[in-house]
């Protein structure tokens, strides 16, 4: 049954969008104003208990720098869920997120649960929520606005993914 599951979760998105910060907020309750850029990828685990189930997340936090792009398939292969992060202050990062989603639609696990995350919600936005929400809806993705800095919606992000995976 699905009461205790282990799930591979991959974070993708442009450099500096806050992938590591979101994972560290969730796993350790920490945030750093000067978070170092990830090299290659970093691995974390965290267990989340729902009422009726326990999900153990194996989290791959990938590096957003373009030179690491070719490594990404190693990390999204076999993933149950993918979190594609953009920074609401950067239109470029939103465009980059859409490229990741197209790649996952072409080459990812067909049952992959995908979440589009609009991070840095504590800052002044350049990307309209409506545009991202509409894009997410058209592509069958979950959409959530977060701030790793303030912790807004960070637990909710992982909780929503866990709920989807347990239902599947």
Question: Is 108 near ligand GTP (CB under 6 A)?
Answer: no
Which tokens is 8 given?
């591979």
The yes or no reply on residue 93 touching ligand GTP (CB under 6 A) is: no
Q: Tell me, what DSSP letter sits at residue 142?
A: E
Cβ–Cβ < 8 Å for 23, 73: no
d(CA 121, CA 8): 26
Contact residues for 159 (Cβ-Cβ < 8 A; gap 6+): 48, 50
Per CB under 6 A, does 148 bind ligand GTP?
yes
CA contacts within 13 A on the Cβ side of 21:
26
Binding segment (CB under 6 A) for ligand GTP, from list 13-21, 51-59, 73-81, 125-133: 13-21
Structure token pair of residue 114 = 């995908």
Q: Which of residues 15-34 bind ligand GTP (CB under 6 A)?
A: 15-21, 32-34
Q: Select 144 or 166, whichever has its Cβ closest to ligand GTP.
A: 144
Instruction: Tell me how crowded residue 147 is: count the other CB atoms within 10 A of its CB.
Output: 21
Total residues in contact with ligand GTP, by rule CB under 6 A: 24
- CA 158 to chain centroid: 9
Closest distance between ligand GTP and the C-beta of residue 137, in Å?
A: 23
The region of 46-54, 62-70, 100-108, 128-136 touching ligand GTP under the rule CB under 6 A is: 62-70
Q: Is 66 in the site for ligand GTP (CB under 6 A)?
A: no
Which residues make up the interface to ligand GTP (CB under 6 A)? 13, 15-21, 32-35, 37-38, 63-65, 119-120, 122-123, 147-149
């Amino acid at each position: 049954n699905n009461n205790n599951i282990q799930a591979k979760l991959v974070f993708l998105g442009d450099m500096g969008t806050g992938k590591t910060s979101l994972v560290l907020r969730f796993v350790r309750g920490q945030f750093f104003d000067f978070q170092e850029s990830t090299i290659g990828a970093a691995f974390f685990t965290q267990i989340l208990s729902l009422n009726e189930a326990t999900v153990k997340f194996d989290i791959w936090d990938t590096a957003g720098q373009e030179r690491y792009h070719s490594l990404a398939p190693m990390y999204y292969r076999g993933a149950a869920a993918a979190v594609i992060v953009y920074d609401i202050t950067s239109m470029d990062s939103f465009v980059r997120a859409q490229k990741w989603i197209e790649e996952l639609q072409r080459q990812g696990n067909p049952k992959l649960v995908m979440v589009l995350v609009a991070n840095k919600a504590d800052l002044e936005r350049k990307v309209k929520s409506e545009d991202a929400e509409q894009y997410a809806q058209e592509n069958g993705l979950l959409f959530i606005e977060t701030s790793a800095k303030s912790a807004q919606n960070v637990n909710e992000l992982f909780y929503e993914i866990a709920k989807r995976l347990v239902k599947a």
